[in-house]
């Protein structure tokens, strides 16, 4: 075996092969792909997958990757046969809830540009000859869903990647260790010898955690047993026996099963059983288990229910023998997303893990482009390897969430649905007080935050607030409305202790930050600056508040959910010459937002410091004492009212909360939750990173031109942004409102123009704006539809609501309520 390579890819499953194929296309040479099993049928998950590809996904990223993969596989040939059969995919509804959800899903698919149709039971029957159509209410049909011939696709991609010697594939080689020197990968040690290399890409699937351990990089995934079976030939399918697959791929999520045709046999896969996790260390090697790596054979007790359900839908299956049965395994992560990126523990150690065949083709392209450019070439934040907090990577958490995600894989999941366990992992000092207020807790990155407080139900009396029903009313309370209005009319205290804070210090701190941000960082200590960080494409990677604490010391503040992602980006780009120190200090600081027209009266009653408009100006911070608590007050407001974000050491947090609470009593101060917070920020047009804008969007497109300081000199991403400034933008993040006062949307719905069938854009986030008396949606639109007054339609569960593009800021655009 060769003794050196530029890149060693561990694993020749769909992900390893696809990455090698795309690297070869980019002109890479000297790439070695090794697998412990015989290549191409390696014994990994790819060799067991029936290859079903349903593209529609709540994630735009995953839908795009699936679309690319399906068409890539179809374009590849092996044995004169395409490596995918895009025969269409149908999701069946057996319950009214599912049928309603499929209508929602049809909208979601259109938001991401996928053609789809809703089918009547008879139309389903016309496509699925053995279906008992009386059992279904309808189907959701995507014409270019289908089935991948995954092993063939691996072979075809390997053949093309090897042509000309760019990539070498080597089976029956087991990686035993990875050498890391001075924090960088140097070599891979195998049972066939040592391979010196510049980088390693781990595509080891369910074995990933074992490989990660070799370099100290947690790979939080849980291998789960998963069975698949085929019936003996069915006479009812005799007419279809000549072709491997012509009948659309099927899933019946109401009983967590999926089906496909194999000539005249019927394939059945199911998730309808207790989850069966397998510890990565217990997985057998292909040498010990040549057919499959699982720890045991088929377990009939985990198939009984699915079998009954299959017979119910497809009576032809009854009494037929199951002639092929496999108990394979594949990976589930804590949030059911993939794991992509480069380790920060061992540089040069890259990860592409927890990927389905459905997305493998696209993930290979993403990884190849990322390796080539040093930055991802599209928004992959949902799959970012660094999105987790340490508690997410513990084996207990990974096991618990992996099991739950297996169970829920086909469930109808509300966008605000809360995980039931594990909960109460991260709590702030005000948590007991919020419990006393009857808070409905929603978690973000493990942190428990109040969404609303039942104690505020009293505020509903005498108010005529917009109601909600059905789907929109779930995980929502009218109390959110009362809290939002009370903030505008009186004052409210918000617990924001989930915020992530990074302290950046050292002689190189200012130049580093100047280079990484769009706004001017060379401001006087005491100033606060709102800024973006961009990738080289000009895309928004981080959306931050920066406070200059001293000449050489800054705080970077970002949302709790995105903290690990943002800080990984910052660490990744920081100089390693010792001139810049980075410290994640979020866990040390409690943060409370005190906002509303009465906020100053309240604060002045418990501080001797000057917190007047002049004493602590807008977008400035200052250390003050509140009662007995030394605190740091930031004069900023995400809700659009006078007030401060107030920071104090975590251990003083409860005292600070109680001090402000007591001071607020005479002024009807309430504790408010994130539901109100979200509504208030939408009225102000404040964007949320991750939902409203991502690395696929630039500040010019997002309406954030005002935080790009062209006169500050060069900054990361400037070149691309300059180009866009010259050429002009083609899309714009817009604020929309609805003519129908009862209209409600929740996010990700498609936007249509002129009654058209193809979506021109999609909603990113939405909520009632209680002060403006309308539902507000932010959404992406092509520039030609982005002018104020443009008339559009937003589809929600199959119903279209007339919507109008408005100015970005609907409430107090002159900022008269904040700058007082
Ligand atoms: P793998 O295919 O597992 O490849 C990893 C490779 O790494 C293996 O070949 C292994 O031998 C090698 N390796 C590991 N450790 C070492 C080492 N130390 N040294 C050398 N090599 C090593 N997905 C879908 O999209 N649609 C489906 O319909 C579908 N159905 C499925 C049905 C079943 C029964 C199963 C088990 C899975 C199914 N999946 C499906 C999931 C899908 O198969 C996997 O998610 C996907 O194949 C993972 O690909 P991979 O390349 O990451 O991993």
Please count the CA atoms within 13 angstroms of the CA of 741 that sit on its side-chain side: 6
Query: What confidence tens digit (pLDDT) does each residue in 442-473 have?
Result: 999 999 999 999 999 999 999 989 889 999 99
* Whether the predicted pLDDT of 819 surpasses 70: yes
**From ligand 1's centre to the CA of 47, what distance in Å?**
7
- Kindly state the average pLDDT of the residues 646-650: 98
204 close to ligand 1 (CB < 6 Angstrom): yes
What's the confidence (pLDDT) of residue 387? 97
For residue 109, what pLDDT is reported? 98
Distance, CA 340 to ligand 1 centroid (Å)? 16
Q: At a CB cut-off of 8 Å and minimum separation 6, what does 30 contact?
A: 4, 5, 6, 7, 166
Grade residue 218 by pLDDT with cuts at 50, 70 and 90.
very high
**450 alpha carbon – ligand 1 mean position (Å):** 40
Return the residue whose CA atom lies nearest to atom 44 of ligand 1: 356
pLDDT for the residue numbered 292 = 65
Residue 15 alpha carbon, nearest atom of ligand 1 = 51
Q: How far is the CA of 206 from the centre of ligand 1 (A)?
A: 7
pLDDT at 169 over 90: yes
Ligand 1, from 204, 273, 358, 405: best to mutate by most atoms within 8 Å of Cβ?
A: 204
Work out which ligand 1 atom sits closest to the CA atom of 258.
28
pLDDT of residue 554: 98
- Per the annotation, the verdict on 620 as an active-site residue is no
**Distance in angstroms (rounded) separating the CA atoms of residues 204 and 185:** 17
Q: What pLDDT does 290 receive? A: 67
Residue of minimum CA distance from atom 37 in ligand 1:
49
419-433: average pLDDT = 96
Q: Is 73 a catalytic residue?
A: no
Residue among 10, 45, 171, 253 whose CB has most ligand 1 atoms within 8 A, to mutate: 45
Q: Determine which residue's CA is closest to atom 31 belonging to ligand 1.
A: 49
- 276 Cβ inside 6 Å of ligand 1: no
Ligand 1 centroid to residue 190 C-alpha, Å: 20
Catalytic residue selected from 258, 406, 410, 638 = 258
pLDDT value of residue 87? 98
From first CA to last CA, the distance across the chain in angstroms is 73
Percent of the chain residues topping a pLDDT of 70: 99
Can you tell me the distance from the alpha carbon of 52 to that of 360, in angstroms, rounded to the nearest whole number? 12
Sign of the CA dihedral with 593 first, then 599, 604, and 609 last: positive
In this structure, which residue's CA is closest to atom 53 in ligand 1?
A: 205
Contacts of residue 498, defined as CB under 8 A and 6 or more positions apart, other chains included, come to 426, 428, 444, 445, 447, 449, 559, 560, 561
Which atom of ligand 1 sits closest to the CA of residue 204? 7
List, for residues 562-605, the tens digit of each pLDDT value. Answer: 999 999 999 999 999 999 999 999 999 999 999 999 999 999 99
Q: What is the pLDDT of residue 287?
A: 75
Residues 276-305: what's their mean pLDDT? Answer: 83
- Whether the CB of 352 sits within 6 Å of ligand 1: no
Q: How far is the CA of 205 from the centre of ligand 1 (A)?
A: 5
- Between 357-373 and 150-162, two packed helices, what is the crossing angle to 10 degrees? 30
Distance CA 234, CA 124 (A): 19
Q: What pLDDT score does 297 carry? A: 80
Beta strands in 465-552 (DSSP E): 492-495, 500-505, 528-534, 540-550
Query: What is the arithmetic mean of pLDDT over 211-220?
Result: 97
**579-596 core/surface letters (b: 16 or more CB in 10 A; e: else):** ebebebebeebbbbbbbb
The answer to whether 327 and 206 have CB atoms below 8 angstroms apart is no
Per-residue confidence (pLDDT) for residue 286, from 0 to 100: 74
Is pLDDT of 40 > 90?
no
Nearest to residue 270, comparing CAs of 282, 259, 279, 281? 259
Any ligand 1 atom below 6 A from CB of 10: yes
Whether ligand 1 lies within 6 angstroms of the CB of 208 is answered as: no
Task: Kindly report the number of other CB atoms within 10 A of residue 296's CB atom.
Answer: 12
Clarify whether 324 is annotated catalytic.
no
**Which tokens sit at 464?**
């005529």
**Rounded Cα–Cα distance for residues 189 and 183 (Å):** 17
From the list 22, 67, 226, 768, the catalytic residue is 226
CA of 36 to the centre of ligand 1 (A): 13
pLDDT at 289 over 80: no
Section 745-772 average pLDDT:
97
Please check the confidence at residue 415 and state whether its pLDDT lies above 80: yes
The pLDDT tens digits for 6-31 are: 999 999 999 999 999 999 999 999 99
Q: Is residue 328 within 6 Å of ligand 1 at its C-beta?
A: yes
pLDDT value of position 284: 84
Cα distance between residue 409 and residue 412, in whole Å: 9
Q: Is the pLDDT of residue 100 over 70?
A: yes
Ligand 1 pocket mutation, candidates 40, 170, 205, 333, criterion most atoms within 8 A of CB: 205
Q: Given a cut of 90, is residue 296 above it in pLDDT?
A: no
Residue 471 Cβ inside 6 Å of ligand 1? The answer reads no
**Is the confidence at residue 713, as pLDDT, over 90?**
yes
Q: Ligand 1 center to residue 404 CA distance, Å?
A: 20
Where do we find the tokens 């690990």? 564
Answer whether 358 contacts ligand 1 (Cβ < 6 A): yes
Calpha distance 72→17 (Å, rounded) = 13
Q: What is the mean pLDDT of the chain?
A: 96
User: Tokens at residue 403, please?
Assistant: 């099991």
> CA dist 204 to 73, 210, 255, Å?
21, 9, 31
Tens of pLDDT, residues 467-492: 899 999 999 999 999 999 999 999 99
- The pTM assigned to this predicted structure is 0.97
Indicate if ligand 1 lies below 6 Å from the C-beta of 207. Answer: yes
CB of 270 closer than 6 angstroms to any ligand 1 atom: no
Q: Give the atom of ligand 1 at the shortest distance from the alpha carbon of 226.
A: 34
Residue 515 reports pLDDT greater than 80 = yes
Q: How far apart are CA 567 and CA 583, in angstroms?
A: 9
Mutation choice for ligand 1 from 8, 10, 12, 13, CB with most ligand atoms inside 8 A? 13
Task: Give the phi and the psi of residue 413 in degrees, each rounded to 5.
Answer: -110, 120
pLDDT at 293: 64
Task: Indicate the pLDDT class of residue 529, thresholds 50, 70 and 90.
Answer: very high
Mean pLDDT of all residues in 535-557: 98
Q: What's the confidence (pLDDT) of residue 501?
A: 98
Q: Which of 18, 41, 44 to mutate to test the pocket of ligand 1 (most atoms within 8 A of CB)?
A: 44
623-638: per-residue pLDDT in tens? 999 999 999 999 999 9
| Span of 230-234, 391-395, 709-713 with lowest mean pLDDT | 391-395
- Catalytic-labelled residue, pool 35, 101, 145, 543: 543
Asked if pLDDT for residue 4 goes beyond 80, the answer is yes
Contacts of 481 (CB under 8 A, 6+ apart): 463, 465, 466, 676, 679, 768, 770
């Amino acid at each position: 075996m060769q003794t050196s390579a530029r890149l060693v890819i561990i694993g020749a499953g769909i992900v390893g092969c696809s990455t090698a194929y795309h690297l070869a296309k980019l002109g890479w040479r000297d790439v070695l792909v090794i697998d412990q099993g015989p290549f191409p049928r390696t014994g990994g998950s790819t060799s067991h997958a029936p290859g079903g590809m349903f593209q529609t996904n709540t994630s735009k990223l995953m839908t795009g990757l699936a679309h690319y993969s399906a068409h890539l596989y179809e374009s590849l040939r092996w044995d004169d046969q395409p490596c995918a059969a895009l025969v269409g995919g149908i999701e069946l509804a057996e319950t009214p809830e599912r049928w309603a959800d499929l209508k929602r899903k049809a909208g979601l698919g259109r938001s991401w540009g996928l053609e789809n149709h809703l089918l009547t039971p008879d139309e389903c029957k016309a496509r699925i000859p053995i279906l008992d159509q009386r059992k279904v209410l309808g189907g959701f049909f995507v014409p270019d869903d289908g089935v991948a011939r995954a092993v063939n696709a691996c072979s075809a991609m390997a053949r093309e990647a090897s042509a000309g010697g760019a990539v070498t594939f080597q089976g029956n080689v087991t990686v035993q260790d990875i050498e890391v020197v001075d924090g960088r990968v140097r070599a891979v040690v195998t049972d066939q010898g040592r391979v010196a290399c510049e980088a390693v890409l781990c595509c080891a699937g369910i074995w990933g955690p074992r490989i990660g351990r070799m370099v100290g990089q947690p790979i939080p995934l849980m291998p789960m047993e998963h069975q698949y079976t085929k019936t003996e030939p069915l006479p009812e399918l005799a007419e279809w026996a000549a072709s491997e697959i012509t009948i659309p791929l099927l899933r019946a999520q109401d009983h967590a099963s999926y089906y496909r045709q194999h000539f005249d046999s019927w394939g059945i896969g199911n998730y309808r059983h207790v989850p069966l996790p397998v510890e990565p260390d217990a997985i057998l090697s292909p040498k010990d288990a040549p057919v499959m790596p699982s720890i045991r054979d088929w377990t009939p007790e985990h198939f009984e229910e699915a079998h009954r359900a299959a017979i119910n839908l497809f009576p032809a299956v009854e009494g037929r023998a199951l002639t092929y049965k496999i108990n394979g395994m594949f990976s589930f992560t804590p949030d059911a997303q993939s794991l992509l990126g480069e380790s920060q523990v061992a540089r040069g150690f890259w990860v592409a893990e927890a990927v389905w065949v459905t997305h493998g083709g696209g993930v290979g392209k993403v990884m190849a482009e990322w390796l080539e450019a040093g930055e991802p070439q599209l928004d992959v934040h949902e799959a970012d390897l660094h999105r987790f907090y340490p508690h997410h990577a513990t084996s207990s958490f990974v096991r618990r969430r992996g099991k739950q995600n297996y169970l829920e894989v086909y469930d109808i999941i509300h966008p605000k649905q809360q995980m039931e366990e594990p909960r109460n992992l991260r709590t702030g000092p005000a948590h007991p007080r919020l419990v006393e207020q009857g808070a409905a807790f929603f978690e973000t990155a493990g942190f428990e935050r109040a969404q609303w407080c039942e104690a505020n139900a009293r505020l509903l009396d005498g108010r005529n607030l917009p109601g909600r029903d059905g789907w929109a009313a779930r995980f929502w309370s009218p109390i959110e409305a009362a809290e939002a209005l009370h903030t505008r009319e009186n004052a409210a205290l918000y617990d924001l202790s989930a915020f992530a804070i990074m302290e950046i210090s050292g002689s190189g701190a200012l130049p580093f930050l100047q280079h990484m941000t769009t706004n001017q960082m060379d401001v006087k200590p005491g100033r606060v600056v709102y800024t973006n960080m961009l990738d080289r494409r000009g895309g928004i990677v981080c959306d931050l508040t920066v406070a200059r604490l001293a000449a050489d010391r800054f705080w970077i503040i970002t949302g709790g959910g995105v903290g690990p992602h943002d800080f990984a980006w910052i660490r990744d780009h920081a100089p390693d010459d010792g001139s810049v120190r980075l410290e994640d200090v979020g866990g040390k600081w409690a943060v409370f937002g005190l906002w509303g027209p009465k906020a100053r009266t309240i604060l002045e009653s418990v501080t001797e410091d000057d917190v007047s408009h002049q004493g602590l100006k807008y977008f400035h911070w200052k250390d003050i004492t509140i009662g007995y608590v030394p605190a740091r007050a930031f004069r900023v407001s995400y809700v659009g009212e006078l007030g401060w974000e107030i920071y104090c050491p975590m251990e003083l947090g409860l005292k600070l909360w109680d001090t402000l609470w007591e001071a607020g009593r005479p002024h009807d101060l309430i504790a408010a939750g994130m539901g109100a917070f979200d509504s208030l920020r939408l009225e102000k047009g404040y964007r949320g990173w991750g939902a409203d804008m991502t690395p696929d969007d630039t500040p010019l497109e997002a309406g954030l031109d005002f935080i790009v300081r062209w006169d500050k000199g060069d900054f990361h991403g400037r070149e691309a942004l300059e180009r866009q400034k010259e050429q002009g933008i083609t899309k714009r993040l817009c604020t929309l409102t609805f003519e129908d006062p009862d209209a409600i949307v929740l996010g990700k719905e498609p936007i249509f123009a002129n009654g058209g069938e193809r979506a021109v854009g999609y909603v990113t986030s939405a909520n009632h704006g209680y002060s403006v008396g309308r539902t507000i949606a932010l959404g992406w639109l092509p520039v030609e539809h982005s002018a104020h007054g443009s008339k559009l339609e937003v589809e929600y569960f199959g119903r279209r609501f007339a919507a109008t593009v408005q100015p970005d800021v609907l409430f107090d655009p002159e900022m008269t309520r904040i700058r007082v």
